[in-house]
Amino acid sequence: MYLFYRKKVDELVDNLLDAEMFVSEARLESRLQSIKDSREIIKLIDKALIMLRTYPDNEERYYWIIFKSYISTDKYTENDIIDFLCCSRATYFREKKKAIATLSTILWGYLIPELSSEINNIDLIHS
């Protein structure tokens, strides 16, 4: 999944460089930094989705709920996802709530502190 987004981001950078020949260097640098930041966020979300997919005892259900609801470029209705999971509507909404809570725990409880630690180490190196 990351490679797909990376390819799109790389294409965007190439197009920006072609189209922005007459734009100030500061503005171009700002745009490129935003693209880099977006790429890092995508990598972080991909890592969280991988962790969610292997989350114990849910048989990838949380992953598929999040992926089909928010990530996939294909548009899935709630009924499509319910049919895919072979569950009742109530079960779907209960599991969706748990999937969102689990993903947020992965992002805020595991990945963000790890990222913060890496940033602090980089700051110490450059000091």
Task: Identify the band that residue 2 occupies on the pLDDT scale cut at 50, 70 and 90.
Answer: very low
Which are the contacts of 109, defined by CB distance < 8 A and separation ≥ 6?
Answer: none
Q: How far apart are CA 90 and CA 96, in angstroms?
A: 10
Query: pTM for the full model?
Result: 0.65
Instruction: Tell me which of 5-14, 31-40, 92-101 is least confident.
Output: 5-14
- Measure the CA–CA gap between 24 and 34, rounded to whole angstroms: 16
Residue 66 pLDDT > 70: yes
pLDDT (mean) for 52-62? 88
Phi, psi dihedral angles at 78 (to 5 degrees): -60, -40
pLDDT in tens, 89-115: 999 999 999 999 999 888 888 767 766
